[in-house]
Amino acid sequence: MSLSMDSMYQQIILDHYKHPQHRGTIEPFDAEVHHVNPTCGDEVTLRVRLADGEIAELGWVGEGCSISQASTSVMSDLVVGKPIENALRLQEKFLELMQSQGQGELTEDEAEALDDAVAFEGVSKYPARVKCALLGWMAMKSAVAEASSTVEASGTTEQGAQS
């Protein structure tokens, strides 16, 4: 990775840290999860609302290092308004990238799909920081799973969601 690429990535992370996307609580919501990364002290509480097989809304609050907060912001930007399937596929891709120990090889399509999330590629070289970058993504995955089972159990995606 060239130096200019590195600093461009750092800028993306900094921008999201300073101007977090979808930060805040949403109401109503289908599921709420709280995830912590004890090794760094990062926390995120995340809510989702599903509708028509899509992540209709997502809101989060958190505290911790710039990587954890920026990564949650980037993730939110990428999944809100997207079909659940696509969001989960992106989550898998990002997980793979983070577990690559700096050896991640993304195809052009994958890089395009991950968009700003590729800025965290360099983080995969630092095992201690990988959990920071993954925090928001793992929270999104469990919130969606929880919301899906609630929505299925109630037999409708809309009831009670419109106020």
What is the total count of residues that contact Zn ion (CB under 5 A)?
6
20's CB contacts (< 8 A; 6+ apart) are 69, 70, 72, 73
75 within 8 A of 124, measured Cβ to Cβ: no
Tell the burial category of 101 from Cβ atoms under 10 Å away from its Cβ (0-12, 13-18, 19+): exposed
Assign 60 to helix, strand or coil: strand
Instruction: Give whichever of 26 and 95 is closer to Zn ion, judged by the CB atom.
Output: 95
143 within 8 A of 47, measured Cβ to Cβ: yes
To the nearest whole angstrom, how small is the minimum distance from the Cβ of residue 133 to Zn ion? 8
Neighbours of 69 (CB within 10 A): 25
In the list 61, 65, 111, 161, the residue contacting Zn ion (rule: CB under 5 A) is 65
Instruction: Give whichever of 36 and 161 is closer to Zn ion, judged by the CB atom.
Output: 36
Listed as own residue / partner, the contacts of 101-107 with beta carbons closer than 8 Å and 24 or more positions apart are 101/125, 101/127
| β-bridge pairing 54-63 and 42-51 | antiparallel
- Which position has the token pair 């989702």? 48
Residues 114-143 that bind Zn ion (CB under 5 A): 132
To the nearest whole angstrom, how small is the minimum distance from the Cβ of residue 41 to Zn ion? 7
Instruction: Give whichever of 42 and 54 is closer to Zn ion, judged by the CB atom.
Output: 42
The reply on whether position 113 binds Zn ion by CB under 5 A is no
The reply on whether position 40 binds Zn ion by CB under 5 A is yes
To the nearest whole angstrom, how small is the minimum distance from the Cβ of residue 122 to Zn ion? 15
The reply on whether position 36 binds Zn ion by CB under 5 A is no
The reply on whether position 42 binds Zn ion by CB under 5 A is yes
The reply on whether position 68 binds Zn ion by CB under 5 A is yes
To the nearest whole angstrom, how small is the minimum distance from the Cβ of residue 52 to Zn ion? 34
**Positions that interact with Zn ion (CB under 5 A):** 40, 42, 64-65, 68, 132
